[in-house]
Structure formats: structure tokens, C-alpha cells
Amino acid sequence: MRMPRFAKILVAFLVGVMLAQLLHACAGSQAAGKTRLTIATVNNGDMVVMQGLSHNFEQANPNIQLRWVVLEENVLRQRTTTDVAS
């Protein structure tokens, strides 16, 4: 069975959020405030839908705050490459 493109993106997003939670839990003591995750994305229809769904995620996980940064594709690609290289 073939997964639609949006479903793949959603699964990747949720796996990333779960990994961030796991890494945060393994880091030791939790801070008194919320865990803040910054999500960099391009401005396309699928990502706009994901931003809308993130409100539901934040309600289900009150200790996590999502921050969306929308960039042009070439800028996002360049910054991601730079971050991974360092």
C-alpha cells in the first residue's frame, strides 16, 4: 500500500517530535518551563496543514511549545546543510 505524500510528511514530523521528547527526557533534569521546539519549513500547502494540526499536538502535550519558522526552500536547504556540517 502506498502512503500519500502528506501522510509521509506527517509521520516524519511526529517521529521528529517524539525523538525530541526522548532526547529531552534523556538529558537529565527537566527545566521548570516548557520544552520549545523550533520547526523550520517551506511555505507549501502540506506545511500549512501541519501548522494547523500542531495546535492539537500542543493541547495534548502542554509541556511542549512548537515554534514555526517559514523559509524559502533554498534558504532552508542552505541553513540545514550548514547546521548538519557543524
Model confidence pLDDT, tens digit, residues 64-86? 888 888 888 888 888 888 877 87
Cell readout for 41 is 519549513
Q: Which domain holds residue 58?
A: 5-85
At 77 the pLDDT is 83
pTM: 0.55
Tally the domains of the chain.
1
Q: What CATH number is attached to the domain comprising 49?
A: 3.40.190.10
Q: What is the DSSP letter of 57?
A: H
Are 86 and 79 in contact by the 8 Å Cβ rule? The answer is: no
